[in-house]
Amino acid sequence: MIVDDLNEDEIDLGEHIDEAAEAEEGAELGRVTELEAELADARQQILYAQADTQNVRRRLEKDAQDARQYAATGFARDMLSVKDNLERALAAMPDDMKGHESFQGLVTGIEATGRELDAVFARNGITRIDAVGQALDPNRHQAMIELPSADAEPGTIVQEMQAGYMIKDRLLRPAMVGVAKSGD
């Protein structure tokens, strides 16, 4: 009977050891599952951080490129008034004065300065906007007046009051124009 009790105790002890081992194994398995989930979350956060870093780098590169391309925008805008004044000076001179030999040097100098300014504009990507005969484009033209016209379609530019310019693909200054309206 004592032996039987001992065997029963051994069996009970073995069952307890098995249960403890299973519980420990379950706890380890739960901990492994938890660590795998944390690892997957950390990997996801790293991927997001890498993508965000790459986006910031691209944005900074684009900003730097735009700064290089359009750095002279303010200066170019100021130079447009010089170009306008040269054109006004030539337009204000009467034809007989332009042909007079005492003013020939002045006229030649103003024309040469205008050509050089055009060459500098071209080297820096500054181009004149075509206006007369074009349809009004509010992104490039600023309508100042409407003029009755039997020849042109309504909305067509018939007069340019001030030239407009682009710097590369951006508007530097809109062309100030007169637009045709129906002759009614």
- According to DSSP, the β-strands at 170-173 and 126-128 are unpaired
User: Which comes out higher in pLDDT, residue 12 or 7?
Assistant: 12
In tens, the pLDDT along 95-152 reads: 877 777 888 888 888 889 999 999 998 988 889 998 888 888 888 898 888 888 878 7
Domain chopping of the chain, boundaries? 1-69, 72-124, 127-184
Phi, psi (deg, nearest 5) at residue 55? -65, -40
Note the maximum CA span of the chain. 145
- Looking at every residue in the chain, the average pLDDT score rounds to 82
CATH number (2.30.22.10, 2.60.120.480, 3.40.605.10, 1.20.1600.10) of 127-184 reads 2.30.22.10
| Residues 116, 122, 124: CA angle, nearest 5 degrees | 110
Q: What pLDDT is attached to residue 55?
A: 93
Q: Would you place residue 13 in the very low, low, confident or very high pLDDT band (cuts 50, 70, 90)?
A: low
User: What is the average per-residue pLDDT within 44-51?
Assistant: 93
DSSP structure string for 154-174: TTBEEEEEE--EEETTEEEEP
Sign of CA dihedral 148, 149, 155, 159: negative
Q: What pLDDT is attached to residue 44?
A: 94
Q: Would you place residue 18 in the very low, low, confident or very high pLDDT band (cuts 50, 70, 90)?
A: low
Q: What pLDDT is attached to residue 91?
A: 85
